[in-house]
Amino acid sequence: MTSSPSVPSDISAAERLRVAIVGASGYAGGEFLRLALGHPRLEVVQVTSERNAGLPVPLVHPNLRGVTRLRFVKLEELDEVDLLVAGLPHKRLAGRFDALAGKAARVIDLSSDFRLRDPAVYEHYYGEPHPRPDLLGSFVYGNPELHRAELAGATRISGAGCIATAAILGLVPLLAAGLVAKRDVVVEAKIGSSAAGNQPTGSGHHPERMGVVRTYAPTRHRHTAEIAQELPGDLRVHLTATAVERVRGILATAHVFVPDGTSERDVAAALHERYDDEPFVRIVQARKGIHRVPDPKILDGTNWLDIGFELDPDSGRVVVMTAIDNLVKGTAGHALQALNVAMGWDETLGLTFPGLHP
């Protein structure tokens, strides 16, 4: 049983999806749990964790004290539900897909297992063959801003990568407007520590992480494949990832060159054309103050993506900056937004937290 927030009186228990979250003790699964407990059309009935089976959820996710009385169960105790959300480490769901998918009519995967469509590309970036290449392409890539039509009615959704989400949504408007003059696109992403998951590592050890600005993937970051897959045109994507001293957040800075004669007004028009009707994208164009460009700090816990830019008229280079919370818009929130679309619900359900400042 949960003690989740009260449900509007016009939504009956029969109209709510019964949800199980597999791997709910991790950061991605725990974030989906937090959001789902406040969603009026979802009822979380089971959460699994092999390491924490039998423990109350708030012992692992203390932010949920007083919000839920759920306890973690082992994977083999999983019951049949309407929706299964997999927050397992990468490569785990694919290896046991048939057993888990048989538990629910709908599946959302928050890992990278089913984001790519080409098994050769997967092997190139992950260093081994995909365990279930027959399933690649059967999941809809969970980016509503790009795939809203395909998501409608979808029963298999693959959550999009966090760096990939920031980079893709930063670049799509310029590409759609024909404002990218060169084939090469350079993206530098600064990212908080939660993107590495909750398992201890040497690089995540506090003395090694404190105060860092450490580039850990100068080239060949795995999200490069997603970015190239989702962007239109024959682009060469060059991605670099740098760890910074934050827990949450991504700032993706993309560098593109525009055709001669392109003005700031042209770039702004491309952004507004693409995003003015999007519920979770904000265009940042402030001319004064300290918040003139996107900043992940003010997005903690939110499903917003903030986007801004600056054009260098001397070189024709546009710097596009996008900021998100990697665990929400970059993972669980984006997946919940995709579920809302798939179910035909209000796309903003469960996702309206406005953020904190300071």
DSSP structure string for 191-239: E-GGGG-SS--TTTSHHHHTT-EEEEESS--THHHHHHHHSSSS-EEEE
* Cα separation, 327 vs 195, whole angstroms: 7
* Cα separation, 125 vs 228, whole angstroms: 12
139: which 2 tokens?
A: 């999941």
Token pair 């003395």 is found at 207
DSSP three-state, residue 46: strand
Token pair 């692992």 is found at 60
Cβ(315)–Cβ(339) below 8 Å: no
* Cα separation, 47 vs 64, whole angstroms: 13
Q: Please state whether beta strands 81-86 and 17-22 pair in parallel, antiparallel, or not at all (unpaired).
A: parallel
- Residue 55 DSSP one-character state: S
Q: Which of 47, 162, 179, 187 is the catalytic position?
A: 162
**Letter for the amino acid at 74?**
K
Whether residue 88 lies in the annotated active site: no
* Cα separation, 10 vs 110, whole angstroms: 30
The residues carrying an active-site annotation are 162
